[in-house]
Amino acid sequence: MLDKSFNPAGIEQRWYQRWESAGWFRHKDHAVPAYCIQLPPPNVTGTLHMGHAFQQTLMDALIRYHRMRGLNTNWVVGTDHAGIATQIVVERQLQDEGKSRHDLGRDKFVERVWQWKQQSGSTITRQMRRLGASANWDYADTEGQRAGYFTMDAKMSRAVVEVFVRLHEEGLIYRGKRLVNWDPVLGTAVSDLEVDSEEEDGKIWEIRYPLEDEGGGDAGSISVATVRPETMLGDVAVAVNPKDDRFSKLVGKRVRLPLTGKTIPVIADDYVDPEFGTGAVKITPAHDFNDYQVGKRHNLEPISVMTLDARMNDQAPQKYRGLERFAARKQVLADLQSEGLLVSEKKHRLRVPRSGRTGVVVEPMLTDQWFVAMEGLAKRGLEVVASGEVKFFPEHWTKTYD
């Protein structure tokens, strides 16, 4: 007897279990013709959302269509470790227990991460099965859970190392010091997409940099405006706009960098906005993205004055070493005040970059990073679009790509 209303849950689950247990989603060794799709693995930290459902529906339709055509189909699925996000989730669990990852130590912490993976990963695979995804659950499954691969599996990790080394040997990836968005809590670089910049109430300070006088007298000073006075300890120049007549006679001269005993040059660069602050800005290439570019144009060596946990390092004067960056800011301002070099302090609305993962203020940091050599890849990619070999739909995305 038929039910009065259609109840998909019981019917779909029963049929799915029958299909999977019969092995109808598996591939057939090396039979040809073959058809394979790689699922971009969802992060193990969460649950599937509508975007996943839409993407997997399209993939499932394709794989079922080619399976019914008699092709040897293989829908390769799995879950991604989502390293930083996973670490945050597990650390928050530990915080609820009054612990930190440092209390556990590396090995025990990794064990906790794997425990979380088992819990969260099974949620995702259950959701996929509930959606009816006809995935090859046994393929690349090293844990025997019929859940596909996991990107931190030993086999996957070996593959990553192998590919990484090959790419390096072929000159397709390289390592170099670059300025990155650094999260001092996580101890890692974060992409621009993971940085949330919003306007906040802050302050702007005007600081007086005395001009060096070869005769030993008072040669005057030049004032700069900054919202991050603690970074002045890593200044390598003071910059002015070359069209700003107020400072034209000072270009090429040197000023004394307050609190450090060093002298730095006054340079001219179009980057400087004559209308901002005093019209003169401090240049700290190791702690500011714009300053980094100015430093490259003028061959100025960047000086990093912070450790990776945002404390002042040995490049800073002895008095400030070991101070957390905001504690160092207070001390720098107090010392500037006592030496009569702090001209003013004003309220100021500024955009503050915060890590989307931890909420802390990210610090531009000069670190060793790996990069992909894009010259050849980008050229070929642009050529196939220009020739029409590859088309974008809708067409207006072509301009964005170019």
Domain boundaries, the chain: 8-153, 193-368
What pTM was estimated for this model as a whole? 0.71
Contact indicator for 246, 260 with CB cutoff of 8 Å? no
Element (H, E) at 63: helix 50-68
Contact indicator for 27, 44 with CB cutoff of 8 Å? no
98 Cβ contact partners less than 8 Å away, ≥ 6 residues apart? none
Q: Concatenated DSSP letters for 8-28?
A: HHHHHHHHHHHHHHTTTTS--
Rounded Cα distance between 130 and 395, Å, is 36
User: Interhelix angle for 8-21 vs 106-131, to 10°?
Assistant: 110
Structure tokens at 33: 């013709």
Predicted confidence at residue 219, as pLDDT, reads: 74
| Two domains, one topology: 8-153 and 193-368 | no
Closest residue by Cα to residue 78 from 132, 153, 182, 171: 153
Is residue 216's pLDDT more than 70?
Answer: no
Average pLDDT over residues 197-206: 93
Is residue 162's pLDDT more than 60?
Answer: yes
Note the Cα 134 to chain centre separation in Å. 34
Is residue 125's pLDDT more than 90?
Answer: no
Grouping H, G, I as helix, E, B as strand and the rest as coil, residue 379 is helix
Query: What are the start-end ranges of the H helices in 97-174?
Result: 101-104, 106-131, 154-169
Query: pLDDT exceeding 90 applies to what percent of the chain?
Result: 62
User: Count of CB atoms within 10 A of residue 274's CB?
Assistant: 15
Closest residue by Cα to residue 355 from 177, 199, 186: 186
Predicted confidence at residue 79, as pLDDT, reads: 85
Using one digit for the tens of pLDDT, what is the confidence trace for 49-82? 999 999 999 999 999 999 999 999 999 998 887 6
Find which of 92-106, 147-161, 352-366 is predicted with most confidence, using mean pLDDT: 352-366
Contact indicator for 235, 291 with CB cutoff of 8 Å? no
Say which range, 18-32, 39-53, 266-280, 316-330, has the weakest mean pLDDT: 39-53
Contact indicator for 118, 126 with CB cutoff of 8 Å? no
Predicted confidence at residue 252, as pLDDT, reads: 93
Give bridge partners of residue 178 from the DSSP assignment: 367
Note the Cα 238 to chain centre separation in Å. 30
Q: Which one-letter amino acid corresponds to residue 286? A: A
Rounded Cα distance between 277 and 290, Å, is 16
Is residue 121's pLDDT more than 70?
Answer: no
Rounded Cα distance between 79 and 81, Å, is 7
Predicted confidence at residue 92, as pLDDT, reads: 84
Rounded Cα distance between 178 and 371, Å, is 10
pLDDT top residue among 269 and 95: 269
Average pLDDT over residues 90-113: 86
Say which range, 100-104, 160-164, 300-304, 325-329, has the weakest mean pLDDT: 100-104
Predicted confidence at residue 154, as pLDDT, reads: 83
Using one digit for the tens of pLDDT, what is the confidence trace for 320-350? 999 999 999 999 999 999 999 999 999 999 9
- The pairing of beta strand 363-372 with beta strand 173-183: antiparallel
Backbone angles phi, psi at 337, to 5 degrees: -60, -45
Using one digit for the tens of pLDDT, what is the confidence trace for 355-394? 988 899 999 999 988 889 888 888 889 999 999 999 999 8
Predicted confidence at residue 214, as pLDDT, reads: 62
Is residue 251's pLDDT more than 90?
Answer: yes
Superfamily (CATH H level) for 8-153: HUPs (3.40.50.620)
Q: Looking at domain 193-368, which of 3.40.50.720, 3.30.499.10, 3.90.740.10, 3.50.50.60 is its CATH number?
A: 3.90.740.10
Predicted confidence at residue 217, as pLDDT, reads: 55
User: Interhelix angle for 83-96 vs 106-131, to 10°?
Assistant: 110
Structure tokens at 335: 């010392």
Rounded Cα distance between 197 and 21, Å, is 50
- What are the respective helix, strand and coil percentages of the chain, to the nearest 5? 35, 25, 40
Query: pLDDT exceeding 70 applies to what percent of the chain?
Result: 98
Predicted confidence at residue 112, as pLDDT, reads: 86
Is residue 31's pLDDT more than 80?
Answer: yes
Structure tokens at 73: 């189909």
The whole-chain average pLDDT of the chain stands at 90
Average pLDDT over residues 119-131: 84
